[in-house]
A and B are shown apart, each in its own frame.
Chain A
Amino acid sequence: MVKWSRREFLVESGAAAVACTSGMGMAAQAPQSSPTMAIAKWGGDQPASSEEIDRIAEQLTVKAIESIGGIGRFVRRGDVVWVKPNIAWIQPPEMAANTNPQVVATIVRLCLEAGAKRVKVGDNPVDIAQQTYEISKIAAAVRPLGADVVFMDRSRFRRVAIKGEVLKEIPIYPEILEADVVINVPIAKHHGLATITVAMKNFMGVVEERRTFHQAIGQTLTDLCLFLKPKISIVDAVRVLVARGPRGGRLEDVRTPLAVAAGTDIVALDAWAAEVLGRNPDDISSVVCGHKAGLGTKDYRSLNPVEISVA
C-alpha cells in the first residue's frame, strides 16, 4: 500500500511538472487533452477509524484533481476562489450530511498552493449557519489553512435575472458571481424528493427563495446551473447517505464507497453519483433535465473517465 504524504505528493508532482516542461512536448497540449472526469477510489484496506477515513479522503481528492489536469487548470495565480461545499445541516461528518471536511480542506490547500489570492469557503445552510459550520467541522478544517469562512447573510443576496425556463429571477449571493473560480464540492446523498442530491443540487446553496424549487426540481436546478456555468465540481463520495436524506442522522443509513470524482461535466458527475448511491441516472429528474438542456451528458462513461485506484 502506497501512502502519499503531502511532501511526497509535492515532490512527485513537481517532478512531473519538470518532466512536462523539459521537452516532452506535452506542456502545450496538456489543457486540451486533460480528461473531463476522473474517479479516484480507495483500493486499500477498509479504514477502521474516522482519522483513517480523513487521510483517505485527502489522498483521493488529491488524486482525482491531479487526474483531470491539476488544480492549476482551473485556478490561476491571483485568483479569488469560492469553494462551495455542502454545509447544510447540523450533523457531524460521520452522518454524511455535509461534505467531508478533509475533502474541502485539501481543495483549499491546493488552491492556495496554486497561487490563489483568496479562498472563500461558504454555503447557505439550511440549519443555523454558525452552528452548522462548526458541527460539520468544515470551518475548523479550513480556517487554519488561511481560507475565509464566509457566512452568507440573507440581506446580502442580490436579485439576479437568470432567464431560465422556469426561474426568471433569483437572489444569489454576489460574492459567488464575483469570484474568479467557483469550485463545487458536493457530497453524494439520498434526497427524499429529488432522489439524490449531488453536484447540481449543491448550487441551491448559493441562492435564496429556494423553497419552491422542489415543485420542479429538475428544471430549476438546470436553469440555475446553466446560468452559473460551473467549471469544476468535485464530488465527495467518501461517506454517502443512502436513505433519510438529505438530513440523515442515522449511522445505519451511511455507506463508505471511499471515492472522490472530479470533473467539468456536472451532469455526468451526478449520473456517476446516482450509480454510487444505487440509483439509475435516468430516474433523476435533474440529470435528465440537465442532459436535455445541454448542460452535460448523463452517460458519463462516454467521457472515458480516468479511474484511479488509490491505496
Chain B
Amino acid sequence: MKRPRWSAATLRRWVQIFSLVLFVALFLATRPIPAQDPPQWLKLYFWFDPLLLVVTFLAAHAVPLMALLAVVTILVTIVCGRVFCGWICPLGVVHDIAGRLIHGRRSPPATNRYSGWQRAKYYLLAGMVVAALFGAHWVTIFDPLVLFYRTLATGLFPTVQWAVEEGSTVVYQKDPGIGPVRLVRVTEPLYLAFRDYLRGVEKQAFLGSGGILAFFVIIVALNAYRRRWWCRFVCPLGAFLGVLAWRPLLRRTVSSESCNQCELCGMNCHGAAASSEGQKWRPSECFGCLNCTDACRRGALRFQWSWPWRSDPSLASVDLSRRGLLASAVGGITLFGFFRATPLGRGKVFNPKLIRPPGARPEPEFLARCTGCGLCMKICPTGGLQPCFLEAGLEGIWTPRLVPKLGYCSYDCNRCGLVCPTEAIQPMTLEEKRRVKMGLATFDTTRCIPYAYGRDCMVCEEHCPIPEKAIYFHEVEILTRDGEVRRIKQPRVDPAKCIGCGVCEHVCVYRDMPAIRVTSANESRHLSNQPLPPWEETYY
C-alpha cells in the first residue's frame, strides 16, 4: 500500500517547525525598543506553560492573571494526551531534529523500548512539587520552555552575535577587496541589519554561559542514547502533562486482525510509548506524534475517542509505587532543607554581589517565583542583568542579578519587570521603579583618583542619573608631592539618594576593579539589609 504523501505526521512536523520559529521570533522580538514598553505577548509561551502555573501557585500562592491561560494546555492534555510535547514544545522540536539527524527516521527496536527509568521523571516531579509546597520553585529552572529560552538568551544568540560582530569588524577594519570592489559593501549592510533589527546590546555576553550551554548540549546529545531522552526520562513539564494524560479521551487502538506484530510502530515511536509488549500503549508516554499510524503498513492503528472511565485492556499504566512516591516526597523536603539551611537562606547574611533587578521581591518570595528564564536578561538594554551562579545559593542558580561592571540599570528603563512571566520582578511604572533602591555605591578611597592620587576625575558624578545627584563633590585642599596646596573635588555618595543603579561602577576609569562599587546594601526589598536608612540627610 502506498502511503499518502501528506500524512498526519507531516502536518505535525510543520506545526512543530512553525512553533519553533514562533518561539525564536518571540525571543528575537524581546529587545529594548526606544521609548516603548515591551508588548505583553512576548511571554506567550510562558502563559501556556502549566508547570509554571501550578508550581508558582504552590510556591508563591499567587500567579499573574495571564498565566491562567495554561488551563487551556491542561484541558487539551486531559483530552488528547501529551500533544503539547509532540506538537508544540520548541525544545521537543530541537530534540526531534537531533534524533532524526542521529538515528534517521526509525530507531532499532533495541534502543527504542520502554524503560522503567521513564518513571524517574514522575518521581522527580513529585519530589519537586513537595518542595514547591514549602516555597522552593526550583523545578521550573528545568522547565523545557524556560531552559530553552535561557540557553538561547545567554548562550546561543550571544554566540551568533559574537560571530557577526567580530567577523564584520575584521572586514571593516582590514577593508579587503579586489580593486574598487570592497567586501564591506556586502558585510556592512548585513551587520547593520543585524544590529538594527536583531541585536539587543552591543558585544553582549553572559557570565557562566558555558555551563548553561553545556547543559543544553548534553541533553540534546543524549538523543544519541535514546531518542528524546530528556522528554522521556527527565522533563518535569513532560511528567506533569503525563500525569494529566493518564486516561486521555483520544486513545490509540489496534485492530488485532490487521496487526502482524511487525514493530514498525514501535521503531518510529518518539516516546517509547508503544513498543514490544504485545499491543499495549502508554498514554502518559505518548507525544501524539502520529508516527505509528503513519508507519503502519496495514492500517491497523487508529486514534479514537473514548470515555475516561472506560478502562481499556490495551492501556498500560505508569505504575508508580507508593514507596517511591514517599521517597520522592522525603527527597523534596530534604532538598528544600539543603537549599535553605544556609547562612544566606536563613537571612543571617546578605551577599553584597546579589544585586537583584529593580522591583525584585524579597529573596524568599523572589525565589518562589523566579524561573531563571532569562527574559529580563534578554531585554535589559545595557546587558547588566546576568545569570547567577551560586551568588544566591544553589536554589538561585541562573536567576538574574545586576553586574554593574558589565551593565548598569538604566534610569529610563523598567522593562525587566514588564516582561517577567511570573512577576518575580514586579511590573512598575518608570516613576515607581526610579524610587526602588537596588543597592548602594561605595567609594574605594584607596583607588579613587581624587582621593588616592590627587587628580580630578568626575566620570561617576557626571553619569549619576538622579536629578538631584546621589554623587556630589566636596572640594578639599590637598598637598601635592612638592608641598604645593591644591584644591580638588572629591566625590561622595549621598546614601539617601543613591538607588544602586551601578552606572558609576560601570563607567569608572578603572576597568579591572572599579573604585566605586555597588553592593546590595540598602536594597529596598530587605529592611534588615539597610545600614543607611533612606532618611533625608546628608552625611558629611
Residues of A with Cβ closer than 8 Å to B?
A: 90, 126-128, 130-131, 133-135, 151, 153-156, 158, 191-193, 211-212, 214-215, 217, 244, 246-250
The answer to whether the Cβ of B489 comes within 8 Å of any Cβ in the partner chain is yes
Residue numbers in A under 8 Å from B468 (CB-CB): 244, 250
Q: Choose among A128, A156, A244, A246 the residue that contacts B172 (Cβ–Cβ < 8 A).
A: A156
Contact B382 A128 (CB under 8 A): yes
Q: Which chain B residues in 439-456 approach chain A with CB under 8 Å?
A: 449, 455-456
Contact A156 B34 (CB under 8 A): no
Interface of B is mostly: loop
Asked if A192 contacts B462 (CB within 8 A), the reply is: yes
Known interface pairs A215-B449, A250-B468; 16 further A-B residue pairs with C-beta atoms within 8 A, sorted by A's residue number = A128-B381, A130-B34, A131-B32, A135-B35, A153-B195, A154-B202, A158-B173, A192-B462, A193-B458, A193-B461, A214-B456, A217-B456, A246-B462, A247-B462, A248-B467, A249-B466
Return chain B residues, CB-CB under 8 Å to A191: 462
Closest to B464 in A: A247
Closest to B453 in A: A215
Q: Is the Cβ of B458 less than 8 Å from the Cβ of A134?
A: no
Chain B residue numbers with a CB within 8 Å of A90 are 410-412
- The reply on B469 being an interface residue by CB < 8 A is yes
Our pick among A135, A153, A193, A249 for the contact of B489 (Cβ within 8 Å) is: A193
With A131-B412, A248-B467 as contacts: A193 and B462 at CB distance below 8 Å: yes
For B466, the chain A residues whose CB sits under 8 A away are 249
Interface check B169, CB cutoff 8 A:
yes
User: Which residues from chain A contact B449 at a C-beta distance below 8 Å?
Assistant: 215
Nearest opposing residue in chain B for A217, CB measure: B456
For A245, the closest partner residue in chain B by CB is B462
User: Which residues of chain A come closer than 8 Å to B165, judged between CB atoms?
Assistant: 155
Complex-state Cα separation, A301 to B473, whole angstroms: 33
Bound CA–CA A134/B165 (angstroms): 24
15 A-B pairs in the complex with CB atoms less than 8 angstroms apart: A126-B462, A127-B410, A131-B34, A131-B413, A153-B202, A154-B202, A155-B165, A158-B173, A191-B462, A192-B461, A192-B489, A193-B456, A193-B458, A193-B489, A215-B455
Contacting residues, chain B, for A135 (C-beta < 8 A): 34-35, 412
Interface string of B469-513 (1 = CB under 8 A from A): 100010000000000000001000000000000000001110000
Report if B463 contacts A (CB, 8 A). Answer: yes
**Is A192 within 8 A of B32, CB to CB?**
no
B457 within 8 A of A: yes
Whether the pair A192, B473 counts as a contact (CB closer than 8 A) is yes
Given A131-B35, A134-B34, A192-B461, answer yes or no on A154-B203 (Cβ-Cβ < 8 Å).
yes
B374 within 8 A of A: no
Which residue of the partner chain B has the closest CB to A191?
A: B462
**B441–chain A nearest beta-carbon distance, Å:** 16
Chain A residue with the shortest CB-CB distance to B507 = A211
State whether the Cβ of B465 lies closer than 8 Å to any Cβ in chain A: yes
Assembled-state Cα–Cα distance A211/B456 (Å): 12
The chain B residue with its CB closest to the CB of A130 is B34
In chain B, what residue has the closest Cβ to A154?
B202
User: Please, which residues of chain A bring their CB within 8 A of the CB of B381?
Assistant: 128, 130-131
The listed residue (B35, B166, B465) touching A134 by CB distance below 8 A is: B35
CB distance from A271 to the nearest CB of B (A): 21
A212 to B459 alpha-carbon distance, docked (Å):
9
CB contacts under 8 Å to A, within B379-419, are 381-382, 410-413
**Do B456 and A247 touch (CB < 8 A)?**
no
Q: How far is the CA of A249 from the CA of B172 in the complex (A)?
A: 38
Q: Which of A193, A246, A249 contacts B467 (CB 8 A)?
A: A249
3 smallest beta-carbon distances between A and B, as pairs: A249-B467, A193-B458, A134-B34
